[in-house]
Amino acid sequence: MIAALAAVLLGAMGASQSLSDVVSNAAFHVYVMPASAQPDSVTVLASDSQSRPTSVKIIYRLGDRLTITVLETVRVDDETSSPAPSPGPTGQTYVVNGYPAAYTVTGPYYQHVGWLTWNPPGVTVTISSMDMTDAPTLVNAALALY
């Protein structure tokens, strides 16, 4: 019984990946926060046939209560595609490292979530937070990604 439990726990620990493993093995450029912002969790949401991550969710905990989620998904780069979709009626547009970024706020009044999405070559990046839903703060956090 104890051996079976140990095997399950070891298998679960092996399934999690470190940020450095994901960055080095991903099928796209993974945008990360500076080294001073340690990730709270790194989840590979999808992989290609060669087991390279194609969609990644990284949660950063900054301080005691501030949490930022970065969701990155590879996309096929085709230069004939139309530009990034414009934001919805309540959205705003910003520029993140030369790319248009759509900012929106969703959720009920007591639990807003701020979303900022942009499309650098080959990847769609979305940064969100329930703790900092104002656009300037999310744009600054997005500009810190490299």
Average pLDDT of the residues in 18-37: 94
How high is the pLDDT of residue 109? 81
How high is the pLDDT of residue 16? 57
Q: What does the alpha-carbon distance between residue 15 and residue 4 come to, in Å, rounded to a whole number?
A: 17
Q: What is the mean pLDDT of the chain?
A: 81
- pLDDT band of 47, cuts 50, 70, 90: very high
